[in-house]
Amino acid sequence: MKILALDTATAACSVAAWDDAEVVERFELVEHGHSERLLPLVDEVLAEVGWGLSQCDALAFGRGPGSFTALRIGAGVTQGLAFGADLPVVPVSSLAALAQGQDATRVLAAFDARMSQMYWAAYVRNTKGLVELAGQERVTSPVDLVLEGDETWLGVGNGWIAYRQVLPQAVEEAVEINDICLYPHAREVAVLAVGPVEAGETVGAEEAVPQYIRNNVAQKRGQ
């Protein structure tokens, strides 16, 4: 199975070609340069693996949450590629992709949502090694973050770094923060897309749209 995956939810821009667990990826920190770098990275990855776009079985993309502008770029490119090659699409949570890349069973993934808020969600790894959402994806003030139960978690993502000084004490005690891996990778988007592709749980190009979580897009300057 051949899957081309991309993620633009954060300051990172990444593209991966996945073929039966073999993966080639490009990953760059670009801040606001997604529109300039995304398609060249797609071309580089496809050239390295020797695929034509039409040889892919599906496209997968990080559907958010994250930067509104960058998510629109990623979704737009995905739509264009999918329409052009008549390919099915799998939208994948960018928070889930971040969690999937961690060597931990219980992961709290969080992005800085600006405006003194963070996007976050809890994930638990199943017996197949894939993370599953526990609860729902949320956008909240870090001071209002509440964890249920007494389990410990690995906290990953730039949301924890941005707001670690204002976390409630109970959260701080329950979360071990990973300071290194802050951004999702397209290779994990591809990994999480394999099951849906095999099950036929894909969407058409016109349904490759971002999921912002935060509803009022107009207020989100600087993202």
Residues 31 and 20 in one domain: yes
Q: What is the pLDDT of residues 142-178, one digit of tens each?
A: 999 999 888 999 999 999 999 999 999 999 999 999 9
Structure tokens at 166: 């204002």
Write a three-state SS string for the chain. CEEEEEECCCCEEEEEEEECCEEEEEEEECCCCHHHHHHHHHHHHHHHHCCCHHHCCEEEEECCCCCHHHHHHHHHHHHHHHHHHCCCEEEECHHHHHHHCCCCCEEEEEEEEECCEEEEEEEEECCCCCEEECCCCEEECHHHCCCCCCCCEEEECHHHHHHHHHCCHHHHHHEEEECCCCCCCHHHHHHHHHHHHHHCCCECHHHCCCCCCCCCHHHCCCC
Residues 74 and 156 in one domain: no
Structure tokens at 46: 């496809």
Residues 89 and 194 in one domain: yes
How far apart are the C-alpha atoms of 5 and 59, rounded to whole Å? 6
Residues 197 and 118 in one domain: no
| Beta carbons of 66 and 119 less than 8 angstroms apart | yes
Confidence at residue 82, expressed as pLDDT on a 0 to 100 scale: 98
Confidence at residue 215, expressed as pLDDT on a 0 to 100 scale: 67
Confidence at residue 20, expressed as pLDDT on a 0 to 100 scale: 87
How far apart are the C-alpha atoms of 23 and 49, rounded to whole Å? 9
Residues 9 and 84 in one domain: yes
Question: In this structure, what CATH number is given to the domain that contains residue 148?
Answer: 3.30.420.40
Residues 73 and 25 in one domain: yes
How far apart are the C-alpha atoms of 19 and 194, rounded to whole Å? 10
Residues 85 and 99 in one domain: no
Residues 209 and 160 in one domain: no
Residues 159 and 208 in one domain: no
What's the total number of domains in the chain?
Answer: 2
Confidence at residue 180, expressed as pLDDT on a 0 to 100 scale: 86
Q: Residues of the chain whose pLDDT is less than 70? A: 215-223
Residues 41 and 72 in one domain: yes
Residues 189 and 157 in one domain: no
Radius of gyration of the chain (CA): 17
Confidence at residue 197, expressed as pLDDT on a 0 to 100 scale: 98
What are the residues whose beta carbons fall under 8 Å from the beta carbon of 94, sequence distance 6 or more?
Answer: 7, 9, 10, 62, 63, 64, 65, 66, 111, 184, 189
How far apart are the C-alpha atoms of 24 and 101, rounded to whole Å? 15
| Beta carbons of 187 and 211 less than 8 angstroms apart | no
How far apart are the C-alpha atoms of 162 and 143, rounded to whole Å? 12
Residues 195 and 210 in one domain: yes
Which residue segment(s) compose the domain that 157 sits in? 95-178
